[in-house]
């Protein structure tokens, strides 16, 4: 699990927000497109449900891994 900074952007370009979220995936290459990650970022975005609308109308423009959380192997 990692702490990450995600930049969300609405597909029509009308809204953009950067939030910190916890992500978990072994494949960091596809994590930006994972629907669970997009929904989690929207949940913590601070936008109201009317502004968010459908989760499919958003994408993660940038995802920066800040640090790994939990125990190291």
Question: Global pTM?
Answer: 0.78
Per-residue pLDDT at 10 exceeds 90: yes
52-71 pLDDT per residue, tens: 998 889 999 999 989 988 76
- Cα separation, 62 vs 13, in Å, equals 14
22-53 pLDDT per residue, tens: 888 666 677 878 888 899 899 999 999 998 99
How much of the chain is helix, strand and coil, in % rounded to 5? 25, 40, 35
Q: Note the pLDDT of residue 27.
A: 65
Residue 42: phi, psi to the nearest 5?
A: -65, -35
Residue 9 · residue 30 · CB < 8 Å: no
Work out whether strand 2-10 and strand 16-23 pair parallel, antiparallel, or are unpaired. antiparallel
């Amino acid at each position: 699990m990692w702490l990450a900074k995600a930049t969300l952007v609405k597909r029509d370009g009308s809204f953009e927000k950067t939030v910190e979220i916890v992500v978990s995936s072994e494949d960091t290459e596809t994590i930006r497109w994972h629907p669970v990650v997009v929904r989690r970022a929207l949940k913590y975005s601070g936008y109201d449900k009317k502004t968010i609308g459908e989760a499919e109308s958003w994408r993660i423009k940038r995802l920066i891994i800040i640090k790994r959380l939990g125990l190291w192997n």
